[in-house]
Chains A and B, each alone.
Chain A
Amino acid sequence: MTEEPREKIIICRCNDVTKEEIEALIDRGITDIEEIKRLLRIGMGPCQGRTCLPLVMGILARKTGKKQEGIPLPATRVPVRPVMMGVLAGEMGDDDEE
């Protein structure tokens, strides 16, 4: 198998973030996973980071020489799986209105 050009390697499939973008940010000195997350929006898509975060942690560990276990995981947010608004709104009646 031939290797894909680096800029084509997608790490975050929800928000189309490439490996190159992540490495460029780390090279600029941004090595806090919470900051990488916010600047590139990894882990902020519908999958909530299930696909990309382990990969990003790996890149970060390799590039900074830190142990992967030593890198704190970013906050995960509810709902763990996407929920349709109508489902949540459905139970409420007009009497809930302020």
Chain B
Amino acid sequence: MKSEAKTVIIGGGIIGLSIAYNLAKLGESDIVVLEKGYLGNGSTFRCGTGIRQQFGDEANIRMMKRSVELWKGLKEELGYDVEFTQSGYLFLIYSEEELEAFNNNVRLQNRFGVPSRIITPEEAKEIVPPLNTDGVIAAAWNHTDGKANPFKAVFAYANAAKRLGVEIYEYTEAKDIKVEDGKIKAVVTNRGEIRTGRVINAANAWAPLINKMAGVPIKIPIEPYKHQSVKTEPIKPGQIEPMVISFKHGGVYMTQEANQGGVIGGYGLKYGPTYDITPTYDFLRGVSYRFAQIIPALKYVNIIRVWGGFYAETPDHNAAIGRINEIDEFYIAAGFSGHGFMLAPVVGEALAELIVDGKTDKPLDFYDPYRFERGELRGQALQMG
């Protein structure tokens, strides 16, 4: 292991790896990524694979519009197929109030070039043939949303970063950060010390512990909540291509995996704050009940696995991304709640630009880590997946 590096990134999830790759792409050298387990073992390998631009606020819409552009090119850019497909996102709408809210969102999304639209229950059924449309009055549909394979995305970024000279140390845990007079001196790990002047906290659910090591003086409230997901045995391809979502059924989301054919998904049941991710029987029952309400034929499909993972939540469900002014060259990109996987390409690009060029054209101000301290929350980000 190196004993000195210009940049140390803590966290080998999709966010840390995307930042590492993008920094190296902009010409930065001498970058190290520390991961306390194996790559992706935090939230990234446990996610629901969804990628959408259907948000209710300008910043997330613009960020995700760019992110989808990047997702589309990742296979070429990183030289590894991340299995990104634009199979769409379908939000089921059951009431007039819901319809009005989605109408407003669609208008805003269209303003920023996202081609979402409101469709009829019949059109929804054409897109998802086994859908139960009882009570459905409309749906919000965007065919350019999609999904990708988190396992492959992690390896694609890691390998591309390595080719550009980034060193990635797995099973290497940051234990302490030495700071003197507001300047970073070193990161202490279980395998020795790395002298460095720059640290990027990409530890998501564990980010508060990293902030504490460095003595970050502001409050960045990120808390780990357990969410769960299931996967079924493969079913005939093309049945549930898009991500299908219903807020009426407790924030349930489901989609058929592009290459494997199993249905994957979950709903809004959460536990915490906790660092325990043991699956629960209540979730298994609850998710089965909700899946069967939306796609009745799923009653006859076997669940083959269930797992737990973290949503690293902030009070407004938006991440904290940016520079910590009190500690020279300390950055954070953490607290991604249910949408860090989809944001990873653009977050890596934006933060790398901020670090290397001192500015970025992406709306990073929205994710200002100081907003909590000022009591100035953003509108709640649409949450599920």
Give A contacts to B, CB under 8 Å: 15, 32, 34-35, 38-39, 41, 44-46, 48, 75, 77-79, 82-89, 91-92, 96-98
Nearest Cβ on chain A to B21's Cβ, whole angstroms = 18
| Contact B299–A89 (Cβ < 8 Å) | yes
| Contact A34–B305 (Cβ < 8 Å) | no
| Contact A83–B286 (Cβ < 8 Å) | no
Given A77-B306, A77-B307: A35 in contact with B284 (beta carbons within 8 A): no
| Contact A89–B285 (Cβ < 8 Å) | yes
- The docked-state distance in angstroms from the alpha carbon of A34 to that of B307 is 14
Nearest Cβ on chain B to A14's Cβ, whole angstroms = 9
8 A-B pairs with least C-beta separation: A86-B299, A82-B302, A88-B288, A38-B151, A89-B288, A77-B305, A89-B289, A85-B288
| Contact B152–A83 (Cβ < 8 Å) | no
- The docked-state distance in angstroms from the alpha carbon of A75 to that of B308 is 12
Interface string of B282-324 (1 = CB under 8 A from A): 0011101101100000111111111100000000000000000
CB neighbours (8 Å) of A46 from chain B are 233, 302, 304
Nearest Cβ on chain B to A17's Cβ, whole angstroms = 12
Given A82-B302, A84-B303, A98-B268, 18 new contacts (CB under 8 A)? A35-B38, A39-B155, A41-B260, A48-B305, A77-B305, A79-B304, A82-B233, A83-B284, A84-B300, A85-B232, A86-B288, A86-B292, A86-B299, A88-B285, A92-B286, A92-B289, A97-B250, A98-B250
Q: Is the interface of B mostly helix, strand, loop or mixed?
A: mixed
Nearest Cβ on chain B to A75's Cβ, whole angstroms = 8
* Residues from 138 to 190 in B contacting A, C-beta threshold 8 Å: 151-152, 155, 170
Is B133 an interface residue, CB under 8 A from the partner? no
25 contacts between A and B (CB under 8 A): A32-B170, A35-B155, A38-B151, A39-B155, A44-B231, A45-B304, A46-B233, A46-B302, A75-B307, A78-B279, A79-B305, A82-B302, A83-B302, A84-B301, A84-B303, A85-B298, A85-B301, A85-B302, A86-B288, A86-B300, A88-B285, A89-B288, A91-B285, A92-B286, A92-B289
- The docked-state distance in angstroms from the alpha carbon of A47 to that of B38 is 24
- The docked-state distance in angstroms from the alpha carbon of A69 to that of B69 is 46
| Contact B39–A83 (Cβ < 8 Å) | no
CB neighbours (8 Å) of A77 from chain B are 279, 305-307
Within 8 Å by CB of A84, from B151, B155, B302, lies B302
Give B contacts to A, CB under 8 Å: 38-41, 45, 151-152, 155, 170, 231-233, 249-250, 260, 268, 279, 284-286, 288-289, 291-292, 298-307
| Contact A78–B289 (Cβ < 8 Å) | no
Nearest Cβ on chain A to B325's Cβ, whole angstroms = 38
CB neighbours (8 Å) of A84 from chain B are 299-303
| Contact B302–A35 (Cβ < 8 Å) | no
- The docked-state distance in angstroms from the alpha carbon of A1 to that of B286 is 52
- The docked-state distance in angstroms from the alpha carbon of A39 to that of B40 is 12
CB neighbours (8 Å) of A78 from chain B are 279, 284, 305-306
Which single residue of chain A is at the shortest CB-CB distance from B308? A77
Within 8 Å by CB of B303, from A75, A88, A91, A96, lies A88
CB neighbours (8 Å) of A97 from chain B are 249-250
| Contact A96–B286 (Cβ < 8 Å) | yes
CB neighbours (8 Å) of A41 from chain B are 260
CB neighbours (8 Å) of B288 from chain A are 85-89
